[in-house]
């Protein structure tokens, strides 16, 4: 799933660098957090960057939309797992066996083996198997990195295209959500270099 965020862009960048074909999908998610427009824009900019920087012919991209309006929604990984299952169930998705989870080591409070991380993995495996009839292999290519290490490793021009804030205000980061609290100091350290 290509969200337009740092983590999914990092994983796609690594695959493009390695010359690996990748099937990406973006869910344009309208919900109470209000990040749909900034994420949609970031996805297009990231895809354009990837194609200009070695990814031409390596990326097959699709998108879908979900509109929860003002409803409370469960964790986003449930929606992403649904769409991954739908893709794997499609005629063109029958050969897909692996789902890449762009999860860094500090994505969940308590770390990569925390109850939250285990719930996410179980949702991916379970939802996908219910939809397509087979359980995917989950790949976590950046699980050994913190968010700050991913920020430090990415090309600066790609990093500037990414979005990260969970609750933007007027198209700007809130600087209060968990992701902003991880990214803000990492960006400050990066720009000081």
Does 147 reside within a domain?
yes
Structural domain for 158, as ranges: 6-76+100-112+137-192
Does 90 reside within a domain?
no
pLDDT exceeds 70 at position 193? no
Asked which of 69-83, 145-159, 168-182 is least confident by mean pLDDT, the reply is 69-83
Q: Give the pLDDT band (50/70/90) at residue 68.
A: confident
Does 118 reside within a domain?
no
Higher pLDDT, 2 or 34: 2
Mean pLDDT of 154-165: 97
Asked which of 50-59, 94-103, 109-118, 141-150 is least confident by mean pLDDT, the reply is 109-118
Q: What percent of the chain has pLDDT over 90?
A: 87
pLDDT exceeds 90 at position 69? no
pTM confidence score: 0.94
Does 121 reside within a domain?
no
Mean pLDDT of 89-98: 96
Nearest-angstrom CA–CA distance, 6 and 43: 11
The total domain count for the chain is 1
Does 181 reside within a domain?
yes
pLDDT exceeds 80 at position 70? no
The helix/strand/coil state of 24 is: strand
Does 122 reside within a domain?
no
Does 38 reside within a domain?
yes
Nearest to 159 by CA among 170, 148, 167, 169: 148
pLDDT exceeds 90 at position 72? no
Does 50 reside within a domain?
yes
Mean pLDDT of 67-74: 81
Average pLDDT of the chain to the nearest whole number? 94
- What token pair was written down for 67? 């509109």
- What token pair was written down for 50? 């990837």
Nearest-angstrom CA–CA distance, 186 and 145: 13
């Amino acid at each position: 799933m290509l969200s337009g965020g740092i983590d999914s862009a990092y994983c796609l960048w690594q695959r493009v660098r390695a010359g690996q074909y990748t099937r990406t999908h973006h869910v344009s998610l309208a919900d109470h957090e209000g990040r749909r427009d900034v994420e949609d824009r970031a996805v297009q900019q990231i895809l354009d960057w990837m194609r200009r920087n070695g990814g031409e012919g390596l990326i097959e991209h699709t998108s879908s939309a979900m509109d929860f309006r003002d409803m409370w929604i469960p964790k986003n990984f449930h929606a992403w797992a649904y769409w991954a299952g739908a893709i794997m169930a499609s005629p063109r998705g029958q050969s897909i066996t692996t789902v890449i989870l762009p999860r860094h080591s500090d994505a969940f409070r308590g770390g990569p083996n925390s109850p939250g991380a285990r719930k996410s993995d179980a949702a991916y495996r379970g939802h996908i198997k219910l939809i397509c009839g087979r359980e995917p292999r989950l790949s976590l290519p950046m699980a050994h990195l913190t968010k700050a290490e991913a920020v430090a490793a990415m090309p600066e021009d790609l990093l500037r295209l990414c979005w990260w804030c969970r609750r933007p205000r007027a198209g700007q980061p809130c600087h209060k959500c968990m992701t902003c609290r991880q990214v803000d100091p990492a960006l400050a350290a990066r720009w000081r270099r």
